[in-house]
Amino acid sequence: MKKVVKFGGSSLASSEQFKKVGKIIRADESRMFVVPSAPGKRFSNDTKVTDMLYSCYGAAIREKKFVEQLDEIHARYQEIIDGLGLTLSLEKDFEIIRENFSKKIGRDYAASRGEYLNGKVMAAYLGFEFIDAAEVIRFHDDHTFDEDATNVLLAERLKDSKGAVIPGFYGAAENGTVVTFSRGGSDVTGSLVALAVKADLYENWTDVSGFLIADPRIVKNPKSIETITYKELRELSYMGASVLHEDAIFPVRKAGIPINIRNTNAPEDKGTLIVEGTCRQPKYTITGIAGTDGFASVTIEKAMMNSEIGFCRKVLQVFEDNDISIEHMPSGIDTMTIFVHKDEFEEKEQQVLAGIHKTINPDHIELESDLALIAIVGRGMRATRGTAGRIFSALAHAHINVKMIDQGSSELNIIVGVRHDDFKNAIRALYEIFVVTQI
């Protein structure tokens, strides 16, 4: 059995955290491939190493003294090295970084050094081979990711390896220029390594025991999700739930490799298993609740619009012409409502209204702002009668007016729109009825 294990910044913030990680890896010999992030915060008002590197490189760009900041970063790593009792020296590495910062080699290069250096420390601590991600994660010259080349390079380099550390977050173009993924991209690296080595499991270790059914900032001590499908995860992530980088799903999904979200500080917890499909019955009717606010709606009324061929297309064309993306579009016989991001829409609202009047000559247009969308997601809803009724009941009981309801054809999710002021209370009410009381 082969496992790829990725550890987030909070899991590698100090030597004590490193020791926890080392114990986890050594407890299972199948954990052969390790993807580390850069050191995160050691305490609440601490600074992540990646942010320190951005600041340091910013000083170099502005022709200001940056060596002192770089020495602080070096000290962070030396503290970890000393705490682990290693003889590893990063002096030469920091000399090279200092030279490259002076040459203003690039912001991506600067940010990537956090993972690069942490990978060297991790390899020395475990006695594993260190593989620079710049040698095996490939980007095109325009800095778009080269999936095919990466898979070939990784598979060839790792085929005979018995233990390797590949830093997350970055790779390189063909000419050697370092390129990074977006923040959180170490998740993507772990997924790519899992695909290349045909891993049986991709373990993603962080500071939480998997996904929670609802946002703990809104719901007190929400239950965790034991098993979730890729489709459910996609729906929840899109609506704001964030534990895993979205792009990390696709490489392993293609190969049918499950992902296990685990807690470095509570390794005994099973965490959340993310799978392509499962026969396991969910504990609750729903899998999770997620939402986000900051939306506006445009409601268009026109008599007999349902008999006018191309009506919807004409309306959507107006939004497209103004580079505005659409979230949802519930409609009736003589009305249709377009939900859009408020910030995106406000800048061009008058152009959009003028375009709609010119294109379809509506009877009336009504605007509403400060709206929130909440997704109730779960494969268990397909086999459960009355789910929508329970949603309306819970929200009515909490004195919350529903502005919109939309259900996808897959029956995997139901999305409701509420006013911004009702957002948190709506999530609490839905959690109460589906999880706490389960009526």
The whole model's pTM is what? 0.86
pLDDT at 277: 86
Of the candidates 114, 116, 130, 179, the residue with the CA atom closest to the CA atom of residue 150: 179
Distance, C-alpha 337 to centroid of its chain = 29
Domain parsing of the chain, residue ranges? 3-207, 288-436
Mean pLDDT of 39-43: 96
pLDDT surpassing 80 at residue 439: no
Fold of the domain spanning 288-436: VC0802-like (3.30.2130)
Tell me, yes or no, if the two domains 3-207 and 288-436 fold the same way.
Answer: no
Do 431 and 213 meet the contact criterion of CB atoms below 8 Å apart? yes
Q: Considering the domain 3-207, what is its CATH architecture?
A: 3-Layer(aba) Sandwich (3.40)
- pLDDT > 80? residue 240: no
* DSSP code string of 298-314: EEEE-TTGGGSTTHHHH
The predicted model gives 4-14 an average pLDDT of 97
Q: What is the DSSP letter of 160?
A: T
Asked if pLDDT for residue 183 goes beyond 70, the answer is: yes
Q: Check whether 308 has a pLDDT greater than 80.
A: yes
- Of all residues in the chain, what percent carry a pLDDT higher than 90? 81
Of these ranges, 125-139, 388-402, 412-426, the one predicted with the greatest mean pLDDT is: 125-139
Strands of the 326-328 sheet, one edge to the other: 326-328, 335-341, 288-301, 364-377, 413-419, 404-407
The pLDDT of residue 368: 93
pLDDT tens, position by position, 69-83: 999 999 999 999 999
Distance between CA atoms of 116 and 408, rounded to whole angstroms? 43
Q: For residue range 334-345, list pLDDT tens digits in order.
A: 999 999 999 999
* pLDDT at residue 307 in the model: 86
Q: What is the pLDDT of residue 237?
A: 80
Report pLDDT for 418: 95
Alpha helices in 349-386 (DSSP H): 349-360
Statement: residue 58 has pLDDT above 70 = yes
Q: pLDDT higher for 436 or 283?
A: 436
**Cβ–Cβ < 8 Å for 394, 425:** no
User: What pLDDT is stored for residue 330 in this prediction?
Assistant: 86
Q: First and final CA of the chain: distance in angstroms?
A: 42
Question: What distance in Å separates the CA atoms of residue 365 and residue 356, rounded to the nearest whole number?
Answer: 9
Cα dihedral 395, 396, 397, 398 in deg (nearest 10)? 50
**If DSSP codes are grouped into helix, strand and coil, which group holds residue 285?**
coil
Q: Mean pLDDT, the chain, as a whole number?
A: 93
Over residues 164-190, the mean pLDDT reads: 94
What residues have CB less than 8 Å from 298, skipping those under 6 apart? 337, 338, 340, 345, 352, 356, 365, 366, 367
pLDDT of residue 177 exceeding 90, the answer is yes
Identify the pLDDT of residue 18. Answer: 98
At residue 409, does pLDDT exceed 70? no
Question: Mind listing the pLDDT tens digit for each residue in 112-138?
Answer: 999 999 999 999 999 999 999 999 999
